[in-house]
Every structure is written in structure tokens, then in C-alpha cells.
Amino acid sequence: MKINRFRDLIPSAASRRGFLSSLLGGSAAAMTWLTAGGLFRSSANASPAAGFAPLPDVPDSEIIRQQRELQSALARPLNTRRWAMVIDPRKCTGCNTCTISCRAENVTGPEGSYRRVAQGPAGRYPAVTNIFMPSNCAQCDDPPCQRAVPNGMILKRPDGIVEFDYTKLTGDYARKAADACPYRAVHVDEGKFFTTGTPAEQAYEKRDFVEYQREWNRADGTLPDSVARKCHFCLHRVEAGMLPACVANCMCTAMAFGDLNDSGSFVNKLLRENRTIRIHEELGIEPRVHYIEEKIEHVTQYSCATCH
């Protein structure tokens, strides 16, 4: 049954590329995509979107700005939104709040998480640091996971979010989708619980949750066994006018989310003002997650080769 429950409830280019891409296990080409001249004017100063409670007036808040832009984008037709994420590894402290908030939001089990925060050393002694690299499904425009399974199991929505059909993408198909993902962003949920074997299995592992605008439960059989799962940009929250859980809960504002078709959006601002890459762009799959790759202060040299 389709529902809208949440809404109802509320230096050298090569070394730079190598450094970031190696943290995710592969090489990457420099980003050549330019954001200037998007389809729509900026919504940064737009009035509150219809149907949403007014947001607080906090002029310097990047989060409020992004949420306001998101709500304005929702007023436009679905196929005119182009959701994307921009991650700034320089701001990330590796706290994993995003991972925990994602787990809580989407009720994932011990077999996997939608979100990982890789880490590795950067620089040369004594100017060294540790770099953290959050990652999740990149919502590829030409998704390898989709090509690995029969038609209809994985859908590319008009707004760019890659949707898994939980009623079909199970068993061997789930494993094929997971194997095909170059980001290792997919896991197969076997229905286990973290608290099995403890004095009591906890209710928070067995509660209902909403994904792809439907209600699921890992305990009552609603969610099929051996189903493929991954990040969906928190579609249920986005459609309800809220930012993805990981973005909203990151205390370091290391992530941004928004509409690439809004030329004045915060994500487009970040892409215009910073050198960025997309991991595995060389595969031609057009990932929707961008990484800022500007220099790290006081660290004169860094390379993935130091840890890979």
C-alpha cells in the first residue's frame, strides 16, 4: 500500500583525485560538470512552500536554507527536480552520527548500513592529519545495479533517486545488485537483529518504518527475506519537506542536499565555489554525490598511496 505517512505525521589533479577516490576503493576523474545556468532561479529567499509550516528565520543557517530550498523544489513537478548531495571531507570529524541517524531512520540490521565513513591518513610528517570520507548510494543516473537485474526491479525516478522494489529484489537478484555496485553501497538484509542473544530483543529493531513511500517491518515479514537495501536519499523525508536524516543530524554541516536544477541552491553554490569530484565518474554512470576536494590547511602533501 502506498502511503505518505511521514507527511501526515509532520595541487595536481591526479593526486587530488587519487586521494579521495582511493578512500572509496577506486580511481576517479575530475569533475567537469558545471552548474551555472540551471533551469530555475534560486529559491534561497523564496516564501514558505505551500503545505509546510514556516521555517525559523535563521539567516546564517545552512540547514534552514537547504530545507527552504527543498520545500520550494517540491512545489515544482517531480521531473524538474534533480536531487544531489555534496560532501565536504574537510569538515567531517568521523563521528558517525550520520551513520547512526541513518540506521535509526531506516531500521537497518547488523548485515549492513546505508552509510559508511571511511578514514585514512593524509599529508607528510609532521603535517599529517586523518581524513574521513562518508559515502552512501550515489543514485547513479545510469546505475550498474539496475543493469545487473531484470527490468522493473530497480527504477530510476524522474527526480534521480534510484528505487529498489523490495517485493522483487531478493535472493540472487539482491546479491547481483550488490555485486554490481562500484561503491559497495548495497547490502542484503537477512532479517537479523542486533539484540538477538541478549536478555530481550528490543522493540526499536522491530518497529515499522517507511521507505519508497511504503510501510515496512523487519520482524513481521512485511520486508521480504534477503532483500537488497541501500540509501535512497531519505525519499520519505524529502517528499515530506525534510532534509535527509544524515544531512540534518551532521553537527559539522559536512553534507549538503538539494536540487541541481535550482541554479541558486546551496548545493550549486558549493559546486561553483569549490573544486569537486565524483567518485567513479570515469565509469560514465553519472553519480549524484559530489565531494569537495580543496586543499587541507597546513597539510602540504597528501595522497591515497600513503594508506593503499
Consecutive H or E run containing 13: helix 13-23
Q: Which helix (H) or strand (E) holds 118?
A: strand 116-124
Which residues pair with residue 30 across a beta bridge?
277
Should residue 209 be labelled a site residue for ligand SF4 when binding is judged by CB under 6 A? no
Q: Is 138 in the site for ligand SF4 (CB under 6 A)?
A: yes
Q: How many residues does the chain have?
A: 308
Question: Any contact of residue 25 with ligand SF4 (CB under 6 A)?
Answer: no
Q: Which is nearer to ligand SF4, 46 or 148 (CB)?
A: 148
Amino acid at 26: G
- Residue that the C-alpha cell 532534509 belongs to: 243
Interface residue with ligand SF4, options 115, 176, 236, 290 (CB under 6 A): 115
Which of these segments, 39-47, 65-73, 232-240, 263-271, binds ligand SF4 (CB under 6 A)?
A: 232-240
Q: Does 139 sit near ligand SF4 (CB under 6 A)?
A: yes
What is the nearest approach in angstroms of ligand SF4 to the Cβ of residue 212?
Answer: 11
162 lies in the site for ligand SF4, by CB under 6 A: yes
**Min CB(244)–ligand SF4 separation in Å:** 3
Report, in Å, the least distance between residue 214 CB and ligand SF4: 15
Beta carbons of 279 and 21 less than 8 angstroms apart: yes
- Total number of residues binding ligand SF4 (CB under 6 A)? 40
Residues 6+ apart with CB under 8 A from 48: 54, 55, 68, 71
Q: Would you count residue 86 as binding ligand SF4 (CB under 6 A)?
A: no
Q: How far is residue 93's CA from residue 302's CA, in Å, rounded to a whole number?
A: 18
Phi-psi region of 152 (alpha: psi -120 to 50; beta: other; left: phi over 0): left
Short-list 153, 139, 228, CA closest to 183 = 139
Does 185 contact ligand SF4 by CB under 6 A? Answer: yes
Interaction site with ligand SF4 (CB under 6 A): 92-98, 102, 105-106, 114-115, 117, 132, 134, 136-140, 143-145, 162, 181, 183, 185-186, 230-234, 244-246, 250, 252, 254-255
